[in-house]
Amino acid sequence: MEVILRNDFETLGARGQLVAVKAGYARNFLIPYGHAMFATKEALGQIEREHLAEEKRQAERLAKMAELAKSLENSSCTISAQANEDGHLFGSVSASEIVAAFAEDDVDLNEDQIILEAPIKEIGVYGFKIRLSQDVQVSSKVWVVKE
C-alpha cells in the first residue's frame, strides 16, 4: 500500500514522500495517528500545496535573517564589569550578558545564538559569532570595560 508521509521517519522517509508500506502498518498505525495519509490525487495535490507554502515561508525567513545579519555585521556592544587592578574580572562575561547588551539596542537575540570561543575573564575587546540560523552567521565584538 502506498501512503504519503506527514512526518519525518528515520526508517521510512521524509515528510511529503510517497512510500510503500504494509497495509496493516498503514491502517493500524500511520494513518490513525496522523503520520501518513492514503496516496490519492487529492492528497498528492494537498502535499504539493503544503510544500510550496513551506518553501515560501523558508524563503521569507531566510530573507529576514539575511536582513538582520546585514544590520548586525561588524556590530559591537559594551559591557562594564568589576575587575581588579590587573584587569581580571570578578567572574566572567557570559552569553546572557551579551544578549542583554544587544537588547538595550533593540536587537532581539537569545543565548543559544551567541558563540563564544572561551569565557571572557579579562578586560578587553573580544570577537564572537552570532548564529542567526543554520546557514547565517555574523561576526561581532564585545568591549569589556572596568566599572
Q: What is the CATH number of the domain that holds 111?
A: 3.10.430.100
Strands 137-146 and 75-81: parallel
As for how many domains the chain has, the answer is 2
Same domain, 40 and 76: no
Cα gap 93→9, rounded to integer Å: 41
What pLDDT is stored for residue 67 in this prediction? 85
Same domain, 79 and 50: no
Report, in angstroms and rounded to the nearest whole number, the Rg of the chain calculated over CA atoms.
Answer: 24
Residue 133: give the domain boundaries: 71-146
pLDDT one digit per residue (tens) for the chain, 147 residues: 999 998 999 999 998 899 999 999 999 999 999 999 999 999 888 888 988 999 999 999 888 888 888 888 878 889 999 999 998 999 899 999 999 998 888 888 889 999 998 889 999 999 999 998 887 889 999 999 998
Same domain, 24 and 78: no
C-alpha cell at 98: 551579551
Cell numbers 539596542 correspond to what residue? 105
Same domain, 53 and 78: no
C-alpha cell at 24: 496493516
24: Cα separation from own chain's centroid: 38
User: What CATH number does residue 39 fall under?
Assistant: 3.40.5.10
